[in-house]
Amino acid sequence: MTDIPMQTASKQISVQEALAKSLKRRHRAEARFKLYGIIAIAIAMVALGTLLYSIGSKGFTALLTTQVELEVYFAPAVIDPSGTGDEAAIFGANYRGLVLKSIRTQFPEVTARRDRLALGKMMSSGAGLQLRQMVLDDPNVIGSTQIVSLPLDDEYDMLRKGIIDRTLPEDDRKVKDRELGWYDQLDAAGAVKTVFNTGFFVNGNSVEPELAGISGAVMGSLFTMLVTLLLSFPVGVSAAIYLEEFAPKNWFTDLIEVNINNLAAVPSIVFGLLGLAVFLSVFGLPRSSALVGGVVLALMTLPTIIIASRAALRAVPPSIREGALGIGASKVQVVTHHVLPLAMPGILTGTIIGMAQALGETAPLLMVGMNAFITDVPGSPLEPAAVMPVQIFMWADRPERAFVEKTSAAILVLLTFLIVMNLIAVLLRKRFERRW
């Protein structure tokens, strides 16, 4: 009889040991799973940090530019030979000649024609434009001598920033020894300055790296996003409201829902082909304009907004609808006065995420001609324009080394816009989200 309790006790001990071993295995598995998660996050953070460092280290220098201080004589015989103050004559004067005369005055020993040409190439082509703008802003400078900071050519800007290695053999450098001597002479005299590159933010596109800016692309992106928002938001929200609140549940609405989900996964370039075939060829919308780009992106963004809006509407508890109907509200009043306001944070979040996706698109806009070389800043959605992603694509294809830093800086600006838009979406969600 005493053997039975002993056997029972031994079985209980073995079960407890088995449970203890099983519990230890579970704890080890959970610890490994947490470790895998931490490793994955660490790898992602390292990859992101490496990407941002690579772009930032190259793009930061684009915020600085190199200029040289020169004494410029605004000769009346060159700017206004008739002395009448004619605006057309002043606008078309040879300001480049004034720049060349000023730089050559610093090196009177340079007399050979080839050397004088090389000396003139030290100055950016934008230096003459800067002098013209000074005269147009204040005609009283005509006849005076002014000390003006003028931009150097991009090669000397790269030399100043250390990107061009001056220790290389002369044949491996774009800046030759004689040109290096002229630059060093100006630098020793304190004429060469590094200043903040405001032109990067206020200028349009240019073939000269030291003159190229993102103003035109930023305005083009803003106009494009405005058209996209005005078209996709009301249409997408209205479609979501109808499908979720009013449409009958049958095979036809199921088919529409499947097609909307499929459209969200369609490659963006397909929408570009649609815009090229329909909006440009059939409807004749202005090519390379923010209008046609916005229409194409609106079609691409619509599925995202519809899906997000339906999810937000579906998240509103049925009790809200039932309570409103119980006090005599109509179906439309229930939706507009009760359901839609409660779902609006989720709708806005989905809309901002869709707009952020559209802001970074390049392929569909290339198909509708928004890769044209546009130097002017657009003033309306109907004017030819570029957008930030396309501008980055175009600069990345340029052979000049100075466009590398311009490309990286433009990427940083675009990433800033995207981060801000996503941050707004998160804040909207946190601010207005209700838990039922």
Report pLDDT for 231. Answer: 93
| Half-sphere exposure for 281 (CA within 13 Å, toward CB) | 8
| Average pLDDT per consecutive 10 residues, the chain (436 residues; last block may be shorter) | 58 71 84 92 92 86 90 89 82 90 90 88 89 90 90 90 86 86 90 90 88 90 92 93 88 87 85 87 85 92 92 88 85 88 87 88 85 83 89 88 89 89 79 64
**Residue with the two structure tokens 């290096």:** 180
What pLDDT is attached to residue 88?
84
Would you state the pLDDT for residue 247? 86
Question: What is the predicted pLDDT for the residue at 301?
Answer: 92
CATH number of the structural domain 215-432: 1.10.3720.10
Q: For the chain, count helices (H), then strands (E).
A: 19, 3
Give me the pLDDT at residue 7, please. 60
- Supply the pLDDT for residue 306: 93
Tokens of 138: 């204040």
Nearest by Cα to 62 from 395, 377, 362: 395
* Domain limits, the chain: 64-196, 215-432
Confidence at residue 402, expressed as pLDDT on a 0 to 100 scale = 87
Report the pLDDT value the prediction gives residue 240, as an integer from 0 to 100. Answer: 92
The predicted pLDDT at position 52 comes to 86
Q: Which pLDDT score, from 0 to 100, does residue 372 have? A: 78
CA distances from 167 to 121, 164, 179, 185 (A): 22, 9, 14, 17
What is residue 232's predicted lDDT score, i.e. its pLDDT?
92
Q: How far apart are CA 120 and CA 126, in angstroms?
A: 13
* SS3 at position 338: helix
Query: What are the pLDDT digits (tens) for 124-148?
Result: 988 889 999 999 998 888 888 999 9
Terminal C-alpha separation, the chain: 62
Overall pTM surpassing 0.75 (yes/no): yes
pLDDT the model gives residue 234: 93
